Structure 1
Amino acid sequence: MDTWFSRLMAAPLPPPRPGAAAVALAGVHKVFVTGAGEFTALQEVNLQVAPGEFVAVVGKSGSGKSTLINMITGIDRPSGGEVWVAGTPVHTLTENQTAVWRGRTLGVVFQFFQLLPTLTALENVMLPMDFCHVYEKSARPERALALLELVGVSAQAGKLPATLSGGQQQRVAIARSLANDPPLLVADEPTGNLDSRTAAAVLALFQGLARAGKTIVMVTHDQDIARQSSRIITVAEGRVVPVGEGGGPA
């Protein structure tokens, strides 16, 4: 059926730059104008994430880490500087182009899962495919089931989210984030509502996805969780300070 959304998703995107970093920010700053005046959330941020890297972003509340993630996902635009993701200059895209790019390039995993309660686990995973038309309609159920198998919850395919545990819902959400085979996953406090055992299983899943070539940028407030990544980026007062491999000093 021809809908405004299907026409939107057919909008052309600029060709990606070959051989580019998964994420590259160059001289990015962000200034918000409030009733009390201007507030600088990011200051001249330069950052690169390599393809297949599993990066954790940490920082205190108000440090700028949420603004940084909003730059990467195209939710917000920089006041200056450049944002490149998977070779695409995100800072130059129109609103329509950003919607198309996000659907094809990003998988997002939320703290509160954000599964649609009236759809089964299988249907939730199929939803991004239905929106973006990356896969033929006949192939979507099989792919969704394969993704649920990948994350270990294929037995729950026909169940509604309310009947699943928190860990099972998060696994379904991860499967959904992989639906269109995006090169980049952004996870916002993905273990915040999970017990320690389930959180460890989710982190192991992320590590496996990174080994398979997915790039993962994870926001967390938990240093122990962050140390499970391959690199930690600390955000403080609008600036990023890279930390070395395994969480040690750079």
Structure 2
Amino acid sequence: MIGKLLSWLVSTDLPQPRIGMAAIELSAVRKVYVTGAGEFEALKGVDLQVDAGEFVAVVGKSGSGKSTLINMIAGIDRPSDGDVWVAGTPVHTLTENQIAVWRGRTVGVVFQFFQLLPTLTSLENVMLPMDFCDVYNPVERPRRAFRLLEMVGVGDQADKLPANLSGGQQQRVAIARCLANDPPLLVADEPTGNLDARTASAVIDLFGELARSGKTILMVTHDQDLANRSSRIVTVSEGQISPVTADGGMA
């Protein structure tokens, strides 16, 4: 039993981050899926660099590879070839156990459908990542969770279950939850897809504030108007990042 525990501890010991790198660096990243119809190349040698504090919108048609791209960055999926560095860590080299630990400390993920646990209150949902990764003193966790809920404007909803919240309130709780462990990177996959225009705009404002505070934000969206409010737009087409022309348009 002790031997298995020591083996697990070794397997989750993360490499020391490399200093001086960009927040995100992808080099020649390919992703090939094997299906019943044969191989499908979702990413075709993608290179990408994102600096700390950037708010980047990832846009593209359905099936273009944009969700695969952010899954590589969040450690949800692995590249078939190429290197993925996030916050100075070579994510492509990590074991499954290491990735789970690394993601819990480094990446906050915001989903389109919120993914809040229905039997937990807003406060308990935000505390969950802290409990899972065993960060912050247990006495401090409720106070930190409440401060985060206040920061995103739903402190008065702390004791409510998700079913008693509006869609916008649920998304704000989800954003507070992804900030629970103070990750340097936030990845959001269509975070405004189920929100009305006014609430979606407020969520984008919040992302902008977080970027100005030093967080790196990577957001997939189909909404060009919302994408235009980011600091940079990355367009994915047929598994590749479209080149930018001298005038800022796409080639």
Structure 1 residues 142, 33: closer, same or farther in 2, change over 3 A?
same
Structure 1 residues 219, 8: closer, same or farther in 2, change over 3 A?
farther
The alpha-carbon deviation at position 19 of structure 1 amounts to: 1.6
Distance 2:248 2:157 in 1: 39
Where structure 2 has 5 or more consecutive residues not aligned to the other structure, the ranges are none
Q: Does residue 149 in structure 1 map to residue 111 in structure 2?
A: no
What is residue 57 of structure 2 aligned with on the other side?
A: 56
Distance 2:136 2:21 in 1: 25
Structure 1 runs of 4+ with >3 Å offset: 7-10
Structure 1 residues 242, 176: closer, same or farther in 2, change over 3 A?
farther
Q: CA contact under 8 A between 1:144 and 1:179: conserved in structure 2? A: yes
Where structure 1 has 5 or more consecutive residues not aligned to the other structure, the ranges are none
The alpha-carbon deviation at position 249 of structure 1 amounts to: 2.0
Deviations 1:10-65 (A, max 9, x none): 93100101121111100111111222221111111100010000000011011111
The alpha-carbon deviation at position 75 of structure 1 amounts to: 1.4
What is residue 249 of structure 1 aligned with on the other side?
A: 249
Equivalences for residues 1-250 of structure 1 within 5 A: 11-241=12-242, 243=244, 248-249=248-249
Distance 2:185 2:83 in 1: 18
Q: CA contact under 8 A between 2:24 and 2:85: conserved in structure 1? A: yes
Distance 1:45 1:178 in 2: 28
Structure 1 residues 8, 180: closer, same or farther in 2, change over 3 A?
farther
With 28-37 and 17-26 compared, the bigger mean Cα shift is at 28-37
Deviations 1:161-216 (A, max 9, x none): 11111111110000000000000000010100110110111100000000000000
Aligned to 1:116, the other structure's residue is in SS state coil
Distance 2:32 2:157 in 1: 45
Distance 2:10 2:225 in 1: 39
Distance 2:243 2:186 in 1: 20
The alpha-carbon deviation at position 151 of structure 1 amounts to: 0.3
Corresponding residue pairs, total: 243
The alpha-carbon deviation at position 218 of structure 1 amounts to: 0.2
Identity across the alignment (%):
75
Deviations 1:93-146 (A, max 9, x none): 000000000111010011111111111100000000000011110100000010
Distance 1:170 1:189 in 2: 11
Distance 1:19 1:13 in 2: 18
Aligned to 2:42, the other structure's residue is in SS state strand
Distance 2:139 2:244 in 1: 45
State TM-score, norm by structure 1: 0.93
Please report the RMSD computed on the Cα atoms of aligned residues, expressed in angstroms.
1.8
